[in-house]
Amino acid sequence: MAYKVIVVEDNQTMMDSMLNVLRRSPDFEVVATYKNVNAALGQASMFKPNLFFLNLENEEMLNAVPDFVDTFRGAYILGTMSQWDPLDVNQAMEGGATGCILKPFTAKEILEYLQLYSVRGQRKPAELISFFSPKGRAGRTTLAAILAMIIAEKTGERVALIDADLQFGDLPIFFDVEPKRTLVDATQDIKLLTPVTFAPYFHEIKPRVSLLSSPDRPEYAELIAPDSLVEVVMMTTNIFRYVIVDLPAGFNPITLDVCRISDIVFVTTMINSGFEIKHAKKTMEMFSSQDDGHRQVKTVFTRVNPFTEENRQKIANQLGYPVDVMIPNEYRMISVANSGRLAQGLPQDTQLMKSISGMADKVIAFGR
Residues whose CB is less than 8 angstroms from the CB of residue 226 and which lie 6 or more positions away in sequence, other chains included:
253, 254, 257
Give whole-number Cα distances, 188 to 69, 147, 224, in Å: 35, 28, 8
Q: What is the DSSP string of 39-79?
A: HHHHHGGGG--SEEEEETTSHHHHHTHHHHHHHSTT-EEEE
Reported as a single tens digit per residue, the pLDDT across 24-74 is 999 999 999 999 999 999 999 999 999 999 999 999 999 999 999 999 999
Contact 203, 180 (CB under 8 A): yes
Exposure on the CB side of residue 38, measured as CA atoms within 13 A: 0
Query: What is the per-residue pLDDT for 173?
Result: 87
Distance between CA atoms of residues 354 and 366, nearest Å = 19
CA distance 359 to 119: 24
| CA-angle at 253, arms to 258 and 293, nearest 5° | 45
The 3-state DSSP class for residue 102 equals strand
* Amino acid type, 318: Q
pLDDT digits 0-9 by tens, 161-184: 999 999 988 899 888 899 999 999
Instruction: State how far the Cα of 63 lies from the Cα of 10, in Å rounded to an integer.
Output: 15
Residues whose CB is less than 8 angstroms from the CB of residue 222 and which lie 6 or more positions away in sequence, other chains included: none
Q: Given this model, what pLDDT does residue 225 score?
A: 94
Please tell me the predicted confidence (pLDDT) of residue 292. Answer: 64
Residue type, 260: R
Q: Write down the pLDDT at residue 303.
A: 87
Structure confidence at residue 227 (pLDDT): 94
Nearest to 355 by CA among 243, 250, 280, 268: 268
Structure confidence at residue 339 (pLDDT) = 57
In whole angstroms, what is the distance from residue 171 CA to residue 145 CA? Answer: 7
Please tell me the distance from the alpha carbon of residue 341 to that of residue 336, in angstroms, as a whole number: 6
Query: What's this model's pTM, rounded to 2 decimal places?
Result: 0.92
Radius of gyration of the chain (CA): 22
Chain length of the chain? 368
Residue ranges for the chain with pLDDT beneath 70: 273-274, 291-293, 330-348, 367-368
